[in-house]
Amino acid sequence: MKTFPTSAVWCLWILFISVSSSPTGSSEVQVVGPADPVVALAGDDIILPCFLKPSVSAENMTVEWTRLNLTRGNVHLYLDSRDSNEDQHPSYRGRTSLFNEELKNGNVSLKLTNVTLSDAVSYRCFIPTLTSQVNETTVQLLVGAVSQPVISIDGTKDWGVVLKCESGGWFPEPKMEWLDSSGTILPADGPPERHRDSEGLYAVRRHVTVNQTDTNRFTCRVQQQEINHMKETEIHVPGEVFIG
């Protein structure tokens, strides 16, 4: 005759199956951050996301924000239920804050104001008081700088007009190209000229010779794919400028 386990043994068996089929430590509180880098422009105020999952209060925890290449000092420290930034690195003084009203919800994100190019590093969000194997996460910050390109007429060549596009104050190094009114990329007069100033910002210049068209409208596009930013300037060349 077929027998069945008692109710007590049956409950233990279900519990064993549940625990065995669950990932180890899945019920532990963990520190989580974004999968993608945070992208900003110089001068922006940004947020470096960091959360406790599942959501529990962090009001009585220690929250340490540091940057991976910083040899001394911290970026922001929350200790003994208050901000404690006596050992804060001077470059971050007065620029960091937590969302204190959100700590009870497990939100330990850091707000960083007026970001600079030198802020573009990886940051560590660390909760040392959290008894978990995953008590920290890393957030990468990318900081760029952009500016509007400027177009000018730089003379004539054969039957065409030579246009010059210049744009400075970019970081990282951008790509510059010329387009006609339909969006087709035009062959430029040689490779772009590049220059980097004392602050590490890039300036780019590029020439193109254009012939007369139905619209006589041409666009200079400067873009930086890493920070996903683009600037365009359009020019209308009067018909009388063209030779012939």
Token pair for residue 75?
Answer: 């970026």
**Residue 181 predicted with pLDDT over 70:** yes
Beta bridge partners of 219: 179, 234
pLDDT digits over 57-107, tens only? 999 999 999 998 877 889 999 999 999 988 899 999 999 999 999 999 999
pLDDT digits over 230-242, tens only? 999 999 999 888 8
Q: Count other Cβ atoms within 10 Å, centred on residue 111.
A: 14
CA distance 34 to 48: 8
Which pLDDT does position 242 carry in this prediction?
85
Which pLDDT does position 244 carry in this prediction?
54
CA distance 162 to 210: 6
Q: Does residue 37 have a cis bond before it (omega within 30 degrees)?
A: no
Residues 156/241, Cβ–Cβ less than 8 Å: yes
Which pLDDT does position 109 carry in this prediction?
98
Q: What is the arithmetic mean of pLDDT over 34-53? A: 96
**Residue 130 predicted with pLDDT over 90:** no
Rounded to 5 degrees, φ, ψ at 16 are -65, -45
**Residue 13 predicted with pLDDT over 60:** no
Longest dimension (CA), the chain: 107
Which pLDDT does position 170 carry in this prediction?
96
Rounded to 5 degrees, φ, ψ at 165 are -120, 130
- Proportion of the chain above pLDDT 70, given as a percent: 89
Residues 163/177, Cβ–Cβ less than 8 Å: no
CA distance 32 to 239: 60
Which pLDDT does position 70 carry in this prediction?
78
Q: Does residue 149 have a cis bond before it (omega within 30 degrees)?
A: no
Give pTM, 2 decimals: 0.77
Domains of the chain from N-terminus onward: 27-144 (2.60.40.10), 150-241 (2.60.40.10)
Residues 177/219, Cβ–Cβ less than 8 Å: no
Residue position matching structure tokens 């930034």: 85
**Residue 6 predicted with pLDDT over 70:** no
CA distance 41 to 18: 48
Which pLDDT does position 27 carry in this prediction?
63
